[in-house]
Amino acid sequence: MHEPDYDIAGETAIVTGASQGIGKSIAETLAASGANVAICSRSIDRVGPVAEDINEAEDVPGEALAVECNVREREQVQSFVDETVEAFGDIDVLVNNAGGEFVANFEDISENGWKTIVDLNLHSTVHCTQLAGEVMREGDGGSIVNLSSVNGQHAAPGESHYGASKAAVIRLTETLATEWAGDGIRVNCIAPGLIQTPGVAETLGIQSEDMPSREKTERRIGHAEEIADAVQFLVSPAASFITGETLTAKGVPRAGNSMSQDLGLE
């Protein structure tokens, strides 16, 4: 009988933006599956404890390395990649998770505001993918997962800069999947709907202390673990025939509504 192979034990995974939220959950999930994880954020004081918790957990087989790295700075990304290879020998998985936004109408976004968001979501993905991708292409290939958003798939007011940057991430994913297929590299994307994270609490003021469980599918905010599980699948051998795709993870809104309409954001 065929059994799906989700095994990534012994692989090395880079996860950007892993001090909190979705990135932290991805790092914990991949480490629990036996991968060694190299994680970063702009502050070692914030990302260091995430690595410490992984390394101290007796039931987590993967090791963690924390590095202070602002993914908007290409030189810092190069150092992060070099430290990862020095610590773990290779790179098999890259998860471009670091990203963010502020909500503002198009006419209120300054040139610097626009560039800040495009830099954070698109150019940082370019830096990490080119520099970690070089190691993957020279090695045995691997798997890349980019974090886009439902806002990269559908328009929403106040999201012009963020939506444009996340739409570009989807097209970059599709293009690279074709260019790097011959190098044994699969490139996929996840487009989350609203997920409860510290970033969402800060940006949108949404704080849901009493989260409905994962058994409920309709009309709720998502858990970070639900995105981490999708990443785990996409980087595993079970997804060997999947590349260039964007997996939407947004539950089920009320009929005819978007998730943000359901939550009263539109």
Ligand X SMILES: CCCCC/C=C/C(=O)SCCNC(=O)CCNC(=O)[C@H](O)C(C)(C)COP(=O)(O)OP(=O)(O)OC[C@H]1O[C@@H](n2cnc3c(N)ncnc32)[C@H](O)[C@@H]1OP(=O)(O)O
Q: Which residues are catalytic?
A: 162
Residue pair 70/121 in contact (Cβ under 8 Å)? The answer is no
Site size toward ligand X, by CB under 6 A:
24
Q: To 10 degrees, the CA torsion angle through 227, 169, 47, 251?
A: -20
Residue 53 CB contacts under 8 Å (≥ 6 apart), including other chains = 28
For residue 41, the cross-strand partners are 68
Residue pair 200/158 in contact (Cβ under 8 Å)? The answer is no
The nearer residue to ligand X, 109 or 238, going by C-beta atoms, is 109
Binding mask 90-129 for ligand X (x = CB under 6 A): ---------xxxx-x---xxx-xx--x---x---------
Q: How far is the CB of 149 from ligand NDP (least distance, A)?
A: 4
Residues 189-208 that bind ligand NDP (CB under 6 A): 192, 194-195, 197-200
Residue 104 corresponds to which amino acid? Answer: A
Residues 87-106 that bind ligand NDP (CB under 6 A): 97-100
Q: How far is the CB of 216 from ligand NDP (least distance, A)?
A: 17
Residue pair 151/166 in contact (Cβ under 8 Å)? The answer is yes
DSSP 151-206: GGTS--TT-HHHHHHHHHHHHHHHHHHHHSGGGTEEEEEEEE--B--HHHHHHH--
Q: Which stretch binds ligand NDP (CB under 6 A): 15-23, 127-135, 175-183, 230-238?
A: 15-23
Binding-site ranges for ligand X (CB under 6 A): 99-102, 104, 108-110, 112-113, 116, 120, 149-151, 193-194, 197, 199-200, 202-203, 259-260
Binding-site ranges for ligand NDP (CB under 6 A): 16-23, 40-43, 46-47, 69-72, 97-100, 120, 147, 149, 192, 194-195, 197-200
